[in-house]
Amino acid sequence: MARRVCLINSVLSAIPLYYLSFLRMLALVHKKLIAIQRRFLWGMDEGTKQICWVKWETITSPKSLGGLGIKDMKCFNASLLAKWRWNLFYQKDTLWSRILDSKYGGHGSLGGGQRGRQHRFWSEWWRDLQKCCGSHEQSQWFDKIKRWKIGNGGEINFWEDVGIGEESLLQKVPRVYVNSKQQSYKLADMGCWEGEDWHWQFQWRRNWLERDQEQWTFFQHAVSTVALQKHAKDRWVWPIDKSGCFSVSSTYKALHDLKYNGQVDDLLAHIWHMKIPPKAVILQWRLLHNALPSVDNLLRRGIVLPPLDSMCVMCNEQPETLPHFFFSCSIADQLWKYYFSWASISTVQPQTMRLHYCQYPQLCSPRPSRTPLSALDPDEYPLRP
Ligand SMILES: [Zn+2]
Protein backbone atom coordinates (compact mmCIF):
# COMPACT_ATOMS: atom_id res chain seq x y z
CA MET A 1 0.00 0.00 0.00
CA ALA A 2 2.92 2.39 0.68
CA ARG A 3 4.04 1.92 -2.91
CA ARG A 4 0.53 2.61 -4.16
CA VAL A 5 0.32 5.87 -2.18
CA CYS A 6 3.60 6.94 -3.75
CA LEU A 7 2.38 6.02 -7.24
CA ILE A 8 -0.93 7.85 -6.80
CA ASN A 9 0.87 11.07 -5.80
CA SER A 10 3.55 10.86 -8.47
CA VAL A 11 1.58 9.40 -11.40
CA LEU A 12 -2.22 9.37 -11.04
CA SER A 13 -2.33 12.92 -9.63
CA ALA A 14 0.21 14.18 -12.16
CA ILE A 15 -1.33 12.78 -15.38
CA PRO A 16 -4.19 15.34 -15.57
CA LEU A 17 -1.87 18.23 -14.60
CA TYR A 18 -1.99 19.94 -18.01
CA TYR A 19 -5.79 19.90 -18.24
CA LEU A 20 -6.25 20.94 -14.61
CA SER A 21 -4.07 24.01 -15.16
CA PHE A 22 -6.39 25.17 -17.93
CA LEU A 23 -9.89 23.84 -17.19
CA ARG A 24 -12.06 23.58 -14.11
CA MET A 25 -12.66 19.95 -13.27
CA LEU A 26 -16.28 18.87 -13.69
CA ALA A 27 -17.96 17.11 -10.77
CA LEU A 28 -18.34 13.96 -12.89
CA VAL A 29 -14.64 13.93 -13.81
CA HIS A 30 -13.71 14.51 -10.18
CA LYS A 31 -15.86 11.57 -9.10
CA LYS A 32 -14.34 9.31 -11.76
CA LEU A 33 -10.80 10.37 -10.85
CA ILE A 34 -11.39 9.59 -7.17
CA ALA A 35 -12.88 6.22 -8.12
CA ILE A 36 -9.74 5.34 -10.13
CA GLN A 37 -7.44 6.42 -7.30
CA ARG A 38 -9.50 4.62 -4.66
CA ARG A 39 -9.59 1.36 -6.63
CA PHE A 40 -5.84 1.52 -7.14
CA LEU A 41 -5.12 2.35 -3.49
CA TRP A 42 -7.09 -0.62 -2.14
CA GLY A 43 -5.82 -2.97 -4.85
CA MET A 44 -9.14 -3.65 -6.58
CA ASP A 45 -9.16 -5.30 -9.97
CA GLU A 46 -11.48 -4.16 -12.74
CA GLY A 47 -15.04 -5.38 -12.10
CA THR A 48 -14.40 -6.56 -8.53
CA LYS A 49 -15.50 -5.05 -5.25
CA GLN A 50 -13.43 -4.81 -2.11
CA ILE A 51 -13.65 -3.02 1.19
CA CYS A 52 -12.38 0.58 1.31
CA TRP A 53 -11.24 0.60 4.91
CA VAL A 54 -10.89 4.36 5.37
CA LYS A 55 -13.15 7.03 3.88
CA TRP A 56 -11.64 9.12 1.07
CA GLU A 57 -11.97 12.48 2.91
CA THR A 58 -9.68 11.10 5.62
CA ILE A 59 -7.19 9.76 3.07
CA THR A 60 -6.85 13.14 1.31
CA SER A 61 -6.54 15.05 4.58
CA PRO A 62 -3.03 16.09 5.75
CA LYS A 63 -0.88 13.51 7.49
CA SER A 64 -0.92 15.64 10.66
CA LEU A 65 -4.71 15.22 10.78
CA GLY A 66 -4.59 11.47 10.26
CA GLY A 67 -4.66 11.31 6.46
CA LEU A 68 -2.34 9.80 3.89
CA GLY A 69 -1.57 13.14 2.25
CA ILE A 70 -2.93 12.07 -1.15
CA LYS A 71 -3.57 15.15 -3.28
CA ASP A 72 -7.03 16.71 -3.08
CA MET A 73 -7.68 17.26 -6.78
CA LYS A 74 -10.21 20.07 -6.29
CA CYS A 75 -7.82 22.17 -4.20
CA PHE A 76 -5.05 21.36 -6.67
CA ASN A 77 -7.23 22.41 -9.62
CA ALA A 78 -8.11 25.74 -7.93
CA SER A 79 -4.43 26.41 -7.11
CA LEU A 80 -3.39 25.80 -10.71
CA LEU A 81 -6.14 28.01 -12.15
CA ALA A 82 -5.41 30.83 -9.70
CA LYS A 83 -2.08 31.27 -11.44
CA TRP A 84 -3.97 32.75 -14.40
CA ARG A 85 -5.17 35.63 -12.22
CA TRP A 86 -1.69 36.26 -10.85
CA ASN A 87 -0.12 36.20 -14.32
CA LEU A 88 -2.82 38.46 -15.75
CA PHE A 89 -1.84 41.07 -13.17
CA TYR A 90 1.92 40.78 -13.66
CA GLN A 91 2.00 40.24 -17.44
CA LYS A 92 -0.34 43.03 -18.53
CA ASP A 93 1.78 43.95 -21.54
CA THR A 94 1.91 40.49 -23.11
CA LEU A 95 -0.30 39.74 -26.12
CA TRP A 96 -2.28 36.93 -24.48
CA SER A 97 -3.00 39.12 -21.45
CA ARG A 98 -4.13 42.08 -23.58
CA ILE A 99 -6.51 39.83 -25.55
CA LEU A 100 -8.11 38.49 -22.36
CA ASP A 101 -8.21 41.99 -20.92
CA SER A 102 -10.09 43.39 -23.90
CA LYS A 103 -12.46 40.41 -24.03
CA TYR A 104 -13.25 39.88 -20.35
CA GLY A 105 -11.77 42.75 -18.34
CA GLY A 106 -8.50 41.16 -17.17
CA HIS A 107 -7.54 40.22 -13.64
CA GLY A 108 -10.00 42.67 -12.06
CA SER A 109 -13.01 40.78 -13.38
CA LEU A 110 -11.78 37.58 -11.70
CA GLY A 111 -12.05 39.17 -8.25
CA GLY A 112 -14.85 38.61 -5.82
CA GLY A 113 -16.10 42.18 -5.31
CA GLN A 114 -18.17 44.51 -7.47
CA ARG A 115 -15.68 44.01 -10.28
CA GLY A 116 -16.23 40.26 -10.12
CA ARG A 117 -19.84 40.25 -11.30
CA GLN A 118 -20.49 37.83 -14.12
CA HIS A 119 -21.18 39.07 -17.60
CA ARG A 120 -23.59 37.32 -19.94
CA PHE A 121 -21.11 37.39 -22.85
CA TRP A 122 -18.37 35.63 -20.94
CA SER A 123 -17.28 32.21 -22.11
CA GLU A 124 -17.79 29.15 -19.94
CA TRP A 125 -14.04 28.92 -19.46
CA TRP A 126 -13.77 32.46 -18.03
CA ARG A 127 -16.75 31.87 -15.75
CA ASP A 128 -15.06 28.72 -14.46
CA LEU A 129 -11.84 30.64 -13.94
CA GLN A 130 -13.70 33.26 -11.92
CA LYS A 131 -15.33 30.59 -9.79
CA CYS A 132 -12.00 28.94 -8.98
CA CYS A 133 -10.05 32.18 -8.43
CA GLY A 134 -11.88 33.08 -5.27
CA SER A 135 -15.25 34.44 -6.30
CA HIS A 136 -18.12 34.76 -3.81
CA GLU A 137 -18.86 31.05 -4.19
CA GLN A 138 -15.27 30.24 -3.25
CA SER A 139 -15.20 32.55 -0.18
CA GLN A 140 -12.92 35.01 -2.02
CA TRP A 141 -9.90 33.09 -0.82
CA PHE A 142 -7.56 34.67 -3.38
CA ASP A 143 -8.36 38.20 -2.20
CA LYS A 144 -8.01 37.15 1.43
CA ILE A 145 -4.50 35.83 0.86
CA LYS A 146 -3.00 38.43 -1.44
CA ARG A 147 -1.68 41.74 -0.12
CA TRP A 148 -0.98 44.99 -1.90
CA LYS A 149 2.44 46.57 -1.79
CA ILE A 150 1.70 50.26 -2.36
CA GLY A 151 3.42 52.11 -5.15
CA ASN A 152 1.85 55.15 -6.81
CA GLY A 153 -1.69 53.94 -6.02
CA GLY A 154 -2.83 53.80 -9.65
CA GLU A 155 -4.05 50.18 -9.38
CA ILE A 156 -5.50 50.19 -5.87
CA ASN A 157 -9.19 50.87 -5.19
CA PHE A 158 -9.19 53.24 -2.23
CA TRP A 159 -12.28 52.00 -0.39
CA GLU A 160 -12.09 48.31 -1.28
CA ASP A 161 -8.35 47.64 -1.06
CA VAL A 162 -7.07 49.97 1.68
CA GLY A 163 -7.67 48.89 5.25
CA ILE A 164 -6.11 47.56 8.39
CA GLY A 165 -5.94 43.89 9.21
CA GLU A 166 -8.61 41.77 7.55
CA GLU A 167 -11.14 44.52 6.82
CA SER A 168 -11.24 47.16 4.10
CA LEU A 169 -12.17 50.78 4.71
CA LEU A 170 -15.50 50.05 3.03
CA GLN A 171 -16.25 47.40 5.66
CA LYS A 172 -14.65 49.19 8.58
CA VAL A 173 -15.99 52.75 8.15
CA PRO A 174 -19.21 52.54 6.08
CA ARG A 175 -20.49 55.89 7.41
CA VAL A 176 -17.39 57.66 6.10
CA TYR A 177 -17.74 55.85 2.77
CA VAL A 178 -21.38 56.91 2.36
CA ASN A 179 -20.38 60.54 2.97
CA SER A 180 -17.63 60.46 0.33
CA LYS A 181 -17.99 61.94 -3.14
CA GLN A 182 -15.09 59.73 -4.33
CA GLN A 183 -16.55 56.27 -3.80
CA SER A 184 -15.13 54.67 -6.96
CA TYR A 185 -11.76 56.42 -6.92
CA LYS A 186 -8.36 54.80 -7.10
CA LEU A 187 -5.87 55.55 -4.35
CA ALA A 188 -3.84 57.77 -6.71
CA ASP A 189 -6.92 59.95 -7.37
CA MET A 190 -7.55 60.69 -3.69
CA GLY A 191 -4.86 63.36 -3.51
CA CYS A 192 -1.95 64.88 -5.42
CA TRP A 193 1.81 65.15 -5.34
CA GLU A 194 3.49 68.45 -4.55
CA GLY A 195 7.10 67.72 -5.38
CA GLU A 196 7.83 64.55 -3.44
CA ASP A 197 5.09 65.10 -0.84
CA TRP A 198 1.65 63.49 -1.04
CA HIS A 199 -1.42 65.51 -0.01
CA TRP A 200 -4.86 63.99 0.49
CA GLN A 201 -7.80 65.76 -1.18
CA PHE A 202 -10.97 64.22 0.23
CA GLN A 203 -14.37 65.48 -0.86
CA TRP A 204 -17.37 65.04 1.45
CA ARG A 205 -21.11 65.39 0.88
CA ARG A 206 -21.88 66.95 4.26
CA ASN A 207 -20.26 68.01 7.54
CA TRP A 208 -19.40 65.37 10.13
CA LEU A 209 -21.99 64.57 12.78
CA GLU A 210 -21.38 63.40 16.30
CA ARG A 211 -22.45 59.84 15.47
CA ASP A 212 -19.78 59.68 12.71
CA GLN A 213 -16.99 60.59 15.10
CA GLU A 214 -15.72 57.09 15.96
CA GLN A 215 -15.47 55.95 12.33
CA TRP A 216 -14.03 59.29 11.25
CA THR A 217 -11.23 58.98 13.87
CA PHE A 218 -10.47 55.45 12.71
CA PHE A 219 -10.45 56.60 9.08
CA GLN A 220 -7.93 59.35 9.85
CA HIS A 221 -5.69 56.87 11.64
CA ALA A 222 -5.91 54.33 8.76
CA VAL A 223 -5.10 56.98 6.15
CA SER A 224 -2.11 58.24 8.13
CA THR A 225 -0.48 54.77 7.82
CA VAL A 226 -0.71 54.73 3.99
CA ALA A 227 2.62 55.64 2.42
CA LEU A 228 2.57 56.13 -1.36
CA GLN A 229 5.71 55.91 -3.49
CA LYS A 230 5.64 58.28 -6.41
CA HIS A 231 7.90 56.34 -8.75
CA ALA A 232 6.95 52.73 -7.94
CA LYS A 233 4.16 50.58 -9.33
CA ASP A 234 1.58 48.88 -7.14
CA ARG A 235 2.37 45.21 -6.65
CA TRP A 236 0.71 42.11 -5.33
CA VAL A 237 2.46 40.09 -2.64
CA TRP A 238 1.73 36.44 -1.84
CA PRO A 239 2.63 36.30 1.88
CA ILE A 240 2.14 32.56 2.28
CA ASP A 241 5.14 31.90 0.02
CA LYS A 242 8.64 32.72 1.22
CA SER A 243 9.45 34.48 -2.04
CA GLY A 244 6.37 36.71 -1.83
CA CYS A 245 5.35 35.48 -5.30
CA PHE A 246 2.48 33.17 -6.19
CA SER A 247 3.27 29.47 -6.17
CA VAL A 248 0.94 26.55 -6.76
CA SER A 249 2.42 24.56 -3.87
CA SER A 250 1.94 27.30 -1.24
CA THR A 251 -1.57 28.00 -2.53
CA TYR A 252 -2.48 24.32 -2.43
CA LYS A 253 -1.24 24.09 1.17
CA ALA A 254 -3.27 27.15 2.17
CA LEU A 255 -6.47 25.88 0.49
CA HIS A 256 -5.92 22.44 1.93
CA ASP A 257 -5.46 23.88 5.45
CA LEU A 258 -8.64 25.91 5.08
CA LYS A 259 -10.60 22.86 3.98
CA TYR A 260 -9.21 20.47 6.59
CA ASN A 261 -9.11 22.87 9.51
CA GLY A 262 -9.13 20.19 12.22
CA GLN A 263 -7.33 19.20 15.37
CA VAL A 264 -3.80 17.90 14.81
CA ASP A 265 -3.41 14.26 15.90
CA ASP A 266 0.06 14.20 17.43
CA LEU A 267 0.38 10.43 17.32
CA LEU A 268 -0.73 10.05 13.68
CA ALA A 269 1.48 13.02 12.74
CA HIS A 270 4.48 11.41 14.42
CA ILE A 271 4.38 7.98 12.82
CA TRP A 272 5.51 9.50 9.49
CA HIS A 273 8.76 10.66 11.09
CA MET A 274 9.77 7.26 12.44
CA LYS A 275 12.85 5.73 10.89
CA ILE A 276 11.11 2.54 9.77
CA PRO A 277 10.16 1.15 6.32
CA PRO A 278 7.14 2.85 4.65
CA LYS A 279 5.08 -0.36 4.72
CA ALA A 280 5.52 -0.50 8.53
CA VAL A 281 4.30 3.10 8.77
CA ILE A 282 1.22 2.24 6.72
CA LEU A 283 0.54 -0.79 8.96
CA GLN A 284 0.59 1.52 12.01
CA TRP A 285 -1.63 4.04 10.21
CA ARG A 286 -4.20 1.33 9.43
CA LEU A 287 -3.91 -0.02 12.96
CA LEU A 288 -4.66 3.37 14.49
CA HIS A 289 -7.63 3.81 12.14
CA ASN A 290 -8.89 0.31 13.03
CA ALA A 291 -8.68 -0.46 9.32
CA LEU A 292 -7.26 -4.01 9.19
CA PRO A 293 -9.31 -7.08 8.28
CA SER A 294 -9.73 -8.57 11.74
CA VAL A 295 -12.79 -10.74 12.32
CA ASP A 296 -14.68 -8.09 14.32
CA ASN A 297 -14.02 -5.48 11.61
CA LEU A 298 -15.22 -7.87 8.89
CA LEU A 299 -18.40 -8.63 10.86
CA ARG A 300 -19.05 -4.89 11.29
CA ARG A 301 -18.97 -4.57 7.49
CA GLY A 302 -21.49 -7.37 7.02
CA ILE A 303 -19.08 -10.18 6.15
CA VAL A 304 -20.19 -13.30 8.01
CA LEU A 305 -17.58 -15.97 8.73
CA PRO A 306 -18.07 -19.57 9.94
CA PRO A 307 -17.95 -19.75 13.80
CA LEU A 308 -14.60 -21.58 13.78
CA ASP A 309 -13.01 -18.84 11.61
CA SER A 310 -14.10 -16.16 14.09
CA MET A 311 -11.49 -17.12 16.63
CA CYS A 312 -7.97 -15.71 16.83
CA VAL A 313 -5.75 -17.41 14.25
CA MET A 314 -2.82 -17.50 16.67
CA CYS A 315 -4.28 -18.87 19.92
CA ASN A 316 -7.69 -20.07 18.67
CA GLU A 317 -9.10 -19.29 22.13
CA GLN A 318 -10.53 -15.76 21.94
CA PRO A 319 -12.55 -13.84 19.30
CA GLU A 320 -10.19 -12.03 16.96
CA THR A 321 -10.03 -8.27 17.49
CA LEU A 322 -7.09 -6.01 16.75
CA PRO A 323 -6.27 -5.25 20.44
CA HIS A 324 -6.40 -8.99 21.16
CA PHE A 325 -4.35 -9.94 18.11
CA PHE A 326 -1.59 -7.43 18.80
CA PHE A 327 -1.52 -7.26 22.62
CA SER A 328 -3.64 -9.57 24.77
CA CYS A 329 -3.26 -12.80 22.76
CA SER A 330 -1.09 -15.31 24.63
CA ILE A 331 1.18 -15.78 21.60
CA ALA A 332 1.55 -12.01 21.07
CA ASP A 333 2.20 -11.57 24.79
CA GLN A 334 5.10 -14.04 24.60
CA LEU A 335 6.55 -12.16 21.68
CA TRP A 336 6.31 -8.81 23.51
CA LYS A 337 7.94 -10.27 26.62
CA TYR A 338 10.73 -11.69 24.50
CA TYR A 339 11.22 -8.32 22.83
CA PHE A 340 11.20 -6.39 26.13
CA SER A 341 13.72 -8.83 27.62
CA TRP A 342 16.30 -7.53 25.14
CA ALA A 343 15.99 -4.10 26.75
CA SER A 344 15.52 -5.48 30.31
CA ILE A 345 12.08 -3.82 30.55
CA SER A 346 9.20 -5.22 32.58
CA THR A 347 5.82 -3.86 31.59
CA VAL A 348 2.12 -4.67 31.36
CA GLN A 349 0.56 -4.82 27.91
CA PRO A 350 -1.97 -2.03 27.24
CA GLN A 351 -5.46 -2.91 26.02
CA THR A 352 -5.79 -0.32 23.24
CA MET A 353 -3.62 0.87 20.36
CA ARG A 354 -3.30 4.42 21.61
CA LEU A 355 -2.35 3.32 25.15
CA HIS A 356 0.41 1.24 23.61
CA TYR A 357 1.89 4.30 21.87
CA CYS A 358 1.38 6.50 24.92
CA GLN A 359 3.97 4.40 26.76
CA TYR A 360 6.45 6.41 24.72
CA PRO A 361 5.79 10.09 25.58
CA GLN A 362 7.80 11.39 22.63
CA LEU A 363 5.16 9.90 20.30
CA CYS A 364 2.26 11.73 21.92
CA SER A 365 3.84 15.12 22.60
CA PRO A 366 2.68 17.99 20.38
CA ARG A 367 4.83 18.83 17.36
CA PRO A 368 5.32 22.41 16.16
CA SER A 369 2.72 23.15 13.51
CA ARG A 370 2.75 25.43 10.47
CA THR A 371 1.51 28.99 10.89
CA PRO A 372 -2.18 28.96 9.98
CA LEU A 373 -3.47 31.41 7.40
CA SER A 374 -5.43 33.38 9.98
CA ALA A 375 -2.28 33.99 12.02
CA LEU A 376 -0.48 35.99 9.34
CA ASP A 377 0.77 39.28 10.71
CA PRO A 378 -1.40 42.00 9.12
CA ASP A 379 1.14 44.70 10.01
CA GLU A 380 3.72 43.16 7.73
CA TYR A 381 1.57 43.98 4.72
CA PRO A 382 -0.60 46.90 5.83
CA LEU A 383 -2.92 46.78 2.85
CA ARG A 384 -5.58 44.27 2.14
CA PRO A 385 -7.71 42.60 0.67
ZN1 LIG B 1 -5.18 -14.95 20.23
Model pLDDT for residues 294-308, shown as the tens digit of each residue = 888 888 888 777 766
Total of domains in the chain: 3
Is residue 300 located within the same domain as residue 356?
A: yes
Residue 266 parent element (H or E): helix 266-270
- Give distance in angstroms: CA of 311 to centre of ligand 1: 8
Domain-embedded: residue 331: yes
For range 273-292, the mean pLDDT: 87
Exposure b/e, 38-64, CB count within 10 A at least 16 = b:
bbebeeeeeeeeeeebbebeebbbbbb
Tell me if 178 is assigned to some domain: yes
**How much is the pTM?**
0.75
Å from CA of 320 to ligand 1 middle: 7
Is 377 part of any domain? Answer: no
DSSP state of 311: B
Q: Is residue 384 part of a domain?
A: no
Summarize the confidence of residues 31-35 as an average pLDDT: 89
Mean pLDDT of all residues belonging to the chain: 81
DSSP annotation of 194 reads E
Calculate how far, in angstroms, residue 312's C-alpha sits from the geometric centre of ligand 1: 4
pLDDT in tens, 243-281: 888 999 898 888 888 777 767 777 888 888 888 888 888
Q: State whether 304 and 343 are in the same domain.
A: yes
For residue 366, pLDDT over 50 is answered with yes
Q: Judge if 201 and 280 occupy the same domain.
A: no
Residue 95, pLDDT above cutoff 90 = yes
Q: Are residues 115 and 253 in the same domain?
A: yes
Task: Verify that 114 and 14 share a domain, yes or no.
Answer: yes
225 and 338 share a domain? no
Average pLDDT over residues 54-82: 86
pLDDT score of 363: 58
Tell me if 353 is assigned to some domain. yes
Ligand 1 mean position to 317 CA, how many Å?
6
Q: Confidence class of residue 227 from pLDDT cuts 50, 70 and 90?
A: confident
Task: Tell me the CA–centroid distance for residue 290 and ligand 1, in Å.
Answer: 17
Q: Per the domain annotation, does 380 fall within a domain?
A: no
Percent of the chain exceeding pLDDT 90 equals 1
Instruction: Please give the distance, rounded to the nearest whole angstrom, from the Cα atom of residue 334 to the centre of ligand 1.
Output: 11
Q: How far is the CA of 267 from the centre of ligand 1 (A)?
A: 26
Residue 51: which domain range?
Answer: 1-145+240-264
Q: Max alpha carbon distance in the chain (Å)?
A: 94
262 contacts 61 by C-beta, under 8 angstroms: yes
The verdict on 99 and 23 lying in the same domain is yes
Residue 382 lies in a domain: no
